[in-house]
Chains A and B, each alone.
Chain A
Amino acid sequence: MIQPQSVGVVAPQRAHFAEPLPLRSGGTLPEYELVYETYGELNADRSNAVLVCHALSGSHHVAGHYADDAKNVGWWDNVVGPGKPLDTRKFFVIGVNNLGGCHGSTGPMSINPATGQPWGADFPFVTVEDWVEAQARLADRLGIRRFAAVMGGSLGGMQALSWTLQYPERVANAVVIASAPKLTAQNIAFNEVARQAILSDPDFHGGHYYAHGVVPTRGLKLARMVGHITYLSDDAMGDKFGRSLRHGKAIYSYDVEFEIESYLRYQGDKFAGFFDANTYLLATKALDYFDPAFEHGGNLPAALSRATADFLVVSFSTDWRFSPARSREIVYALLHNQRNVSYAQIESDAGHDSFLLDEAQYHALLTAYFDRIKV
């Protein structure tokens, strides 16, 4: 064992795909670009590649930092690196910004070749399955026939699961964290509130706000505030903020009084400052639509019978957005099919956000699982 280290300075790469990509929604992307990062070295057998799929607000920047921006550290830097659970001395790790994203891959902010204008609201609906197709083409480009593992948390976990169904022969292991086989009505409801916040912002302009030189920041901020409430647990919010008052007493104002208000506004503002509202809309819809059991009459075990990968499924005790019960649905469906599957429910007070945090038991489990993967 070595002390965990950072992968250090990283730089994104781009891949252009000229072949049209047919989409689940019926549309087609005539051409597209994917921006991605890699960490570690692809071995001679090309057998040590691990694809890390990002969640709603994530990106291809999984680990390390940029030469010109040392503070811009990857979103899963605590998991990916030398001596870390996903050890880049052993694995070649890939992070990809998904289609429809706002971090460099083709998305609503890109130019629609048909109009010469940004796609905006005309960008086609993209699904988890479409993302996997695009990622598979990137894997082809990089010469990766089969991933040692595909891994993700939340919406990223859905992609990992979908990989095992769309390309079972190309995934040796799937690591599905704080995820679900489909959203519940309550979960879709939260997404709908977030979308309505954006759609009803006067600066949204039907999704073509770029042309108006404005950004629906108020809607996006509200959307993120709602999201943040659901990513934390009641206890974590209580411990962190309680009923703490900024002025020590009520001042009878709609300005920030309770610290939780300050936190949510800060998180909302920060997010609205860099994230694209159209991407947020698309990603929440991708979450809502994901339901591999749908075409099997709702029978998840039947849907997962295609999967041949070994699975590690992880949930967190206080995650109510993607509760442990949802992970267990995946586990029991895999068990039904006699697949290799291990499941752990990690004790954590941080709610859905736990999957991004340092939790010793969680990281030890990931380390143990990745250690035993033969490459």
Chain B
Amino acid sequence: MSYRYDYEVITQWIAPGEKVLDLGCGDGSLLKHLAEVRQVRGYGVENDPDKLLACTRNGVNVIQMDMEKGLAGIEDGFFDHVIMSLSLQAMHNTQGILVEMLRVAREAVVSFPNFGYWRHRQSILNGRMPVSESLPHQWFNTPNVRFFTISDFDALCEMNGIAVRERLAFDEGKLILDEPNFLASVAVYRLGRGN
């Protein structure tokens, strides 16, 4: 796993001892990190056998589940934070999972690659689909199924009554304050249930 500077942001938003659910937890390295520095009670969700194995090797709790079908079985408001780090763009049921995340946790933390990043735009202008640090795959082998920008996601949150409590945007690890939809390659959101 590479490209994980969103971990530091996520860690800042997690209080010690929280109950945390990490959707698409990969090899469990974020949960392992959070267990070490925040003593969280963490559970990962994965549906890929190799990643389940990797989590097991890392000593991380992992529950096999198809997130496209929601999080049935997990109680309302059970978790303090539910995290989806760089996985939302690889899911079909975008709206469904956001609803589920805010059902099972007080707050959701979501990070995703910004398709509107200027290098990505430049690539499209040059006639090719973008390949970058944040979108490392070719169009023909990418696991991503949803291509959206920071502005798109803001609009979706507004439409669905999801409160954006905090948003940080980065260009290859550097915090971007101005024009994030153009200048940032990755965004990290802290979301809550809207009023």
Asked if A56 CB lies within 8 Å of chain B CBs, one says: no
Q: In the complex the two chains form, what is the Cα distance from A368 to B56 in whole Å?
A: 6
- Chain A's closest residue to B43 (CB) is A335
Question: In the complex, how many angstroms separate the beta carbon of B64 from the nearest chain A beta carbon?
Answer: 5
Q: Evaluate contact between B73 and A328: CB separation under 8 angstroms.
A: yes
Q: Evaluate contact between B53 and A345: CB separation under 8 angstroms.
A: no
- Chain B's closest residue to A370 (CB) is B56
Main secondary structure of the interface of A (DSSP, over half): helix
Q: In the complex the two chains form, what is the Cα distance from A368 to B73 in whole Å?
A: 26
Q: Given B56, B61, B63, B75, which contacts A336 in the complex, CB threshold below 8 Å?
A: B75
Q: Which residues between 333 and 349 of chain A lie within 8 Å of chain B, taking CB atoms?
A: 335-336, 338, 340-347
Q: Evaluate contact between B57 and A342: CB separation under 8 angstroms.
A: no
Residues of A within 8 A of B187 (CB): none
Proximity bits, A345-375, B CB within 8 Å = 1, else 0: 1110000000000000100110011011000
Q: Given A332, A338, A347, A361, which contacts B19 in the complex, CB threshold below 8 Å?
A: A338
Residues of A within 8 A of B62 (CB): 342-344
Question: In the complex, how many angstroms separate the beta carbon of B169 from the nearest chain A beta carbon?
Answer: 33
Q: Given A332, A340, A347, A368, which contacts B53 in the complex, CB threshold below 8 Å?
A: A368
Taking residues whose C-beta sits less than 8 angstroms from the other chain, chain A's interface range is 20 to 34
| Known interface pairs A332-B74, A335-B63, A336-B75; A342-B55 also in contact (CB < 8 Å) | yes
| Known interface pairs A335-B43, A338-B41, A372-B59; A344-B74 also in contact (CB < 8 Å) | no
Q: Evaluate contact between B61 and A340: CB separation under 8 angstroms.
A: yes
Q: Evaluate contact between A365 and B53: CB separation under 8 angstroms.
A: yes
- Chain B's closest residue to A339 (CB) is B61
Residues of B within 8 A of A364 (CB): 53
Asked if A272 CB lies within 8 Å of chain B CBs, one says: no
Q: Tell which of B52, B55, B64 has the most Cβ of chain A within 10 Å.
A: B64
- Chain B's closest residue to A311 (CB) is B61
The interface on chain B, measured as residues whose beta carbon lies within 8 A of the other chain's beta carbons, has a size of: 19
Asked if B136 CB lies within 8 Å of chain A CBs, one says: no
- Chain A's closest residue to B57 (CB) is A368
- Chain B's closest residue to A368 (CB) is B56
Q: Evaluate contact between B74 and A342: CB separation under 8 angstroms.
A: no
Residues of B within 8 A of A155 (CB): none
Residues of A within 8 A of B49 (CB): 344, 346-347, 361
Q: Which residues between 72 and 104 of chain B lie within 8 Å of chain A, taking CB atoms?
A: 73-75, 78
Asked if A199 CB lies within 8 Å of chain B CBs, one says: no
- Chain B's closest residue to A324 (CB) is B64
Asked if A331 CB lies within 8 Å of chain B CBs, one says: yes
Q: Tell which of A365, A368, A372 has the most Cβ of chain B within 10 Å.
A: A368
Residues of B within 8 A of A361 (CB): 49, 53
Q: Evaluate contact between A341 and B57: CB separation under 8 angstroms.
A: no
Question: In the complex, how many angstroms separate the beta carbon of B10 from the nearest chain A beta carbon?
Answer: 21
Q: Tell which of A332, A336, A344 has the most Cβ of chain B within 10 Å.
A: A344
| Known interface pairs A332-B73, A332-B74, A361-B49; A341-B59 also in contact (CB < 8 Å) | no
Residues of B within 8 A of A331 (CB): 63, 73
Question: In the complex, how many angstroms separate the beta carbon of B81 from the nearest chain A beta carbon?
Answer: 15
Proximity bits, B27-48, A CB within 8 Å = 1, else 0: 0000000000000010100000
Question: In the complex, how many angstroms separate the beta carbon of A248 from the nearest chain B beta carbon?
Answer: 41
Residues of B within 8 A of A372 (CB): 56-57, 59
Q: Evaluate contact between B19 and A344: CB separation under 8 angstroms.
A: no
Question: In the complex, how many angstroms separate the beta carbon of A61 from the nearest chain B beta carbon?
Answer: 29
Residues of B within 8 A of A345 (CB): 64
Question: In the complex, how many angstroms separate the beta carbon of B103 from the nearest chain A beta carbon?
Answer: 15
Q: Evaluate contact between B64 and A343: CB separation under 8 angstroms.
A: yes
Residues of A within 8 A of B43 (CB): 335, 341
Q: Tell which of B19, B55, B60, B63 has the most Cβ of chain A within 10 Å.
A: B63
Residues of B within 8 A of A344 (CB): 49, 52, 62, 64
Q: In the complex the two chains form, what is the Cα distance from A340 to B62 in whole Å?
A: 9
Q: Evaluate contact between B74 and A369: CB separation under 8 angstroms.
A: no
Residues of A within 8 A of B73 (CB): 328, 331-332
- Chain B's closest residue to A347 (CB) is B49
Q: In the complex the two chains form, what is the Cα distance from A361 to B52 in whole Å?
A: 10
Q: In the complex the two chains form, what is the Cα distance from A2 to B194 in whole Å?
A: 56
Residues of B within 8 A of A368 (CB): 53, 56-57
Q: Which residues of chain B have a CB within 8 Å of any CB of chain A?
A: 19, 41, 43, 49, 52-53, 55-57, 59-64, 73-75, 78
- Other 4 A-B pairs with CB < 8 A, given A335-B63, A343-B64, A372-B59: A332-B74, A335-B43, A342-B55, A343-B62
A–B complex contacts, Cβ < 8 Å, 24 sampled: A312-B56, A332-B73, A335-B74, A336-B78, A338-B41, A340-B61, A341-B43, A341-B61, A342-B56, A342-B60, A342-B63, A344-B49, A344-B52, A344-B64, A346-B49, A347-B49, A361-B49, A361-B53, A365-B52, A365-B56, A368-B57, A372-B56, A372-B57, A372-B59
Q: Which 7 A-B pairs have the closest CB atoms?
A: A368-B56, A332-B73, A343-B63, A368-B57, A344-B64, A361-B49, A342-B62
